[in-house]
Amino acid sequence: MSDKIMDRAAVSLRNSGERPVHLRRGLLLALILLAFARLCWHLDAHNLWWDESLSLQRAESGWLALLQGHLVMRDGISELLTIDQHPFFYFVLQGLLLRGAGIEEFVLRFPSVMAATLLVPVLWALGRRLVARGVLAAGSAEWAALLAALNPFFLWYGQEARPYALWAMLAVLSTYLLLRVTEEGAPSRPWLVGYLVTLLAFLTTHYYAALLLPVHALLCFGWLRRRAPQWAWVAAFGLLAVGGVVAGAGAWLILKQGGGENFRFVPLRIMLPDLLNAFSMGLSVDIDQVWWLDLVFGALALVGIGWGLRSRKSMAAGGWLLPTFLGVPILLLLAVSRVQPAYMNARHLSLLSGAFVLLVAAGLAAVAQRQRWAAAGLALLLVAGVGYSTANYFTRPEYGKDDYTGAGHYLAERLLPGDLLLLNPPFSWRIFDYYLPVDLVEQGAREGKGTAVYGVPFLHQGWEEIEAGLERLRGQYRRIWLVTSGTHPYLDPERRVKAWLEQNTVRLKKESFYSPTSFLDVELFLTQVPVFTRVPADMEHPADVVFGDQIRLVGYSVGQRLAAGSALPVTLYWQTEQPTDVHYKYILRLLQPAQDGEPQVLATTEREPYDGVIPTIYWKPGEIIMEYSELPPAPLADDGRYLLALQMYHAETLEKLPITQAPADAQIDADGVTLLLPYTPAH
């Protein structure tokens, strides 16, 4: 770049006839605030997904482990040390923030929010610089800032606790700073230091950052070629060498752990539409429905490229920069993928997204120079498109995340002493621990309440050892909860743990929670068939009450809760007087008597015995069915006096069964259908 071109660029910035400085700055500030507000909106509405839990685990680890990328996977028995597939810079930012503000989703994702927000002023700055050089049409910077503030791709990764938004921002920022360095006859120290610091952050955010260094090498070479030819080659090859070292280190760390084995080669004919759709309309659309709008974005980007390459003068001023910014990383990644597939989806090339947005903006600005109304119409079309995608993102469940919160609430209301919690796979331990009541189970184990939690399949064990371990656990616990996430199924792709439990225990329940791309199941298994020929020795309170001359409550037991806010375990011992073909259900309530007036209902359980798995139609006279039931969490005072109210009814007609036989001291409500059982919390 000649000094004359630089002089003209400086004059162009001062005398381009643009809006007054305060108006431009006001517009930029408004767009920054718009981007920030949109990114913060419902930032914690979606649960974390598995990849984000790895970010959390790394960010909250010790500083040395964080820098080394050490992630320890555990199953409650043993541990497995793994190395994360990303360098450290993003997680350092997260770690600093988490240590001061906590580990909530909002905090964990906030570095991505800031990175996506900063893309607006960074693209503005790069756009203005290229406009000043005559590479882009006037107005490109403003259009770029608007499109960046509304871009659905930046929204998606700006609300995800992963490094992709930061990587995209640093790609643009490092290129802008290098551009400023190469505009001077001698490099300005502030710009040079800024570039080197940003380059370091860029390279330590994602190993694929090395794909952009050939573009930086070309920029340095072109600048130094006329000033210091001997240093031009040194600088260019130096940058390429740095890129090679970073890429080599990343490849070694990833491949030695078997990383990339689930990648398949993606040809250019598939990659380009995928990238075009992602950078234009984001990930919250169906590409088959919006392909035509993707083409509008792509056509405008081509217009922007054409404007920069319209003459030798514009090419010499840097018209080659943005096309090369887009093309070189794609070609390099394709070349690498011929040896080892390295592309799965657009996030792996998110460093290109800023350049693409700037080229689309340049295309709009070029159209505006010839026909403002046409540019305005195109802009409205683009804004409507990204608005549609944004609405999908916030409202359509298929673009959400797995409902770990729902699974956690479900478990917390049903966990009882004597329960075993199995988490499949153990690689998801951190996200399970974040949302599920794992701490409640661990607390119960410490307090001697017979609970435990393990990850399955067990690490470092073959399937014979795993099944032997499951058999040992089956003999130690009354019930087994199995939580299975399909997000990372590689340890148990055939779901052999579930199959073993189905063959060797009694499955009582299965609840599926929302998962947009896989599954999230919570299942309950009973370790022993709960049918006895004599009264079990651990029954605390005999009752001997008969409902409707058909169903007898032999007795009941009320256990201790796992914690103050946990479910109240109630064990019911049933018997049938004679065979029946009728399904009966019961209503169990926890009441707090009042000195005057109706007692207060604190909790209610209504179900068929064992939720219909062992219904009354299968009961045989003389056999006792022991049912582990529970009442939902309710506030209980240690010195309180409470009542359990029990009713039976016909499942089809809903007719309540009268109490037809009871001991003389039994408490029966005046309605004749409600049995009242005293309960005092154990100290």
pLDDT in tens, 515-547: 999 999 999 999 999 999 999 998 999 999 999
As a whole number of angstroms, the distance between CA 560 and CA 553 comes to 21
Cβ–Cβ < 8 Å for 639, 682: no
The token duo for 639 is 């010195």
Distances (CA, A) of 617 to 489, 525, 578, 651: 39, 21, 10, 12
Reply yes or no on whether the pLDDT at 9 is more than 60: no
pLDDT band per the 50, 70, 90 thresholds, residue 19: low
**Mean pLDDT calculated for residue range 233-243:** 92
Cβ–Cβ < 8 Å for 323, 130: no
* pLDDT at residue 150, rounded to an integer: 98
| Tens-digit pLDDT profile for residues 576-602 | 999 999 999 999 999 998 877 788 999
> pTM score, two decimals?
0.91
| Tens-digit pLDDT profile for residues 302-342 | 999 999 999 999 999 999 999 999 999 999 999 999 999 98
* pLDDT at residue 1, rounded to an integer: 45
Nearest to 648 by CA among 639, 659, 640, 637: 659
Cβ–Cβ < 8 Å for 407, 413: no
* pLDDT at residue 179, rounded to an integer: 95
As a whole number of angstroms, the distance between CA 403 and CA 516 comes to 9
- Domain locations along the chain: 3-44+104-399, 416-526, 531-679
Nearest to 319 by CA among 522, 50, 137, 499: 137
**Mean pLDDT calculated for residue range 558-585:** 94
**Mean pLDDT calculated for residue range 167-179:** 97
* pLDDT at residue 257, rounded to an integer: 75
* pLDDT at residue 520, rounded to an integer: 97
| Tens-digit pLDDT profile for residues 281-297 | 999 999 999 999 999 99
Residue-averaged pLDDT of the chain: 93
Strands 452-455, 419-424: pairing is parallel
**Mean pLDDT calculated for residue range 264-276:** 94
Within 618-668, residue ranges assigned H as helices are: none
Which of 219-233, 430-444, 533-547, 599-613 shows the lowest per-residue confidence on average (mean pLDDT)? 219-233
CATH class given for the domain over 531-679: mainly beta
As a whole number of angstroms, the distance between CA 366 and CA 378 comes to 12
Reply yes or no on whether the pLDDT at 186 is more than 80: no
The token duo for 292 is 């035509």
**Mean pLDDT calculated for residue range 407-420:** 96
Cβ–Cβ < 8 Å for 63, 95: yes
* pLDDT at residue 14, rounded to an integer: 47
Nearest to 651 by CA among 682, 621, 606, 618: 606
If you search the block for the tokens 């009871």, which residue do you land on?
662
pLDDT band per the 50, 70, 90 thresholds, residue 11: very low
Cβ–Cβ < 8 Å for 153, 283: yes
Identity of the amino acid at 643: L
**Mean pLDDT calculated for residue range 499-504:** 97
CB atoms within 10 A of CB 502: 14
Cα 515 versus chain centre, distance:
11
**Mean pLDDT calculated for residue range 67-79:** 94
- Non-local CB neighbours of 629 within 8 Å, separated by 6+ positions: 569, 570, 571, 572, 588, 605, 607
The token duo for 440 is 């409640």
Greater confidence (59 vs 253) lies with: 59
End-to-end CA distance of the chain: 83
* pLDDT at residue 184, rounded to an integer: 72
| Tens-digit pLDDT profile for residues 438-453 | 999 999 999 999 999 9
* pLDDT at residue 630, rounded to an integer: 95
* pLDDT at residue 683, rounded to an integer: 60
If you search the block for the tokens 């938004």, which residue do you land on?
165
pLDDT band per the 50, 70, 90 thresholds, residue 509: very high
**Mean pLDDT calculated for residue range 359-380:** 96
| Tens-digit pLDDT profile for residues 139-162 | 999 999 999 999 999 999 999 999
Determine the angle formed by the axes of helices 213-224 and 321-339, rounding to 10 degrees: 130
Interior/surface letters 670-679, b for 16+ CB within 10 angstroms, e for the rest: eeebbbbbeb
* pLDDT at residue 18, rounded to an integer: 52
* pLDDT at residue 565, rounded to an integer: 86
* pLDDT at residue 231, rounded to an integer: 87
pLDDT band per the 50, 70, 90 thresholds, residue 410: very high
